[in-house]
Amino acid sequence: MSLIGNFLWFIFGGVLLSLAWMIAGLLCMITIVGIPIGLQCFKFAALMLAPFGREIDYSQAGTISFLANILWILLLGWELAVTAVVIGLVYCVTIVGIPFGLQSFKFARLALMPFGARIVRV
């Protein structure tokens, strides 16, 4: 079932969210200090292409992750979160789109707190 969900997600919006994360990663990679942030963005851009069958675990978050998340929210996180929420609301208009909307809301939370998060298969 996750294969079908991932295929439909890829066609109906996953590419746009993945592209947004890739652009954010490229912007962060301009400076040497931003390289770890850019690598994190590229990791989550790959998740945006096939989110079904994967969950995000926030149990590894620590003090450094918290400080990095605050900096992230101020610079790029809020734009990605707003994009994911808007796409999620559009998907939730129809009953068929609700699972896709829930995935978008999961990505909105990830856009606000990417550091300390890891992707796990379900």
pLDDT tens-digit readout, 56-69: 888 887 888 888 88
Whether 13 contacts 100, CB under 8 Å: yes
Residue in 3, 24, 16, 41 with CA at minimum distance from that of residue 91: 16
d(C-alpha 104, C-alpha 22), whole Å:
16
- Those residues of the chain that have pLDDT short of 70 are 1
Residue in 111, 120, 61 with CA at minimum distance from that of residue 85: 111
What is the pTM (predicted TM-score) of this model? 0.82
Where are the domains positioned within the chain?
2-121
% residues pLDDT > 70 (the chain): 99
d(C-alpha 79, C-alpha 112), whole Å:
9
Instruction: Assign 51 to helix, strand or coil.
Output: coil
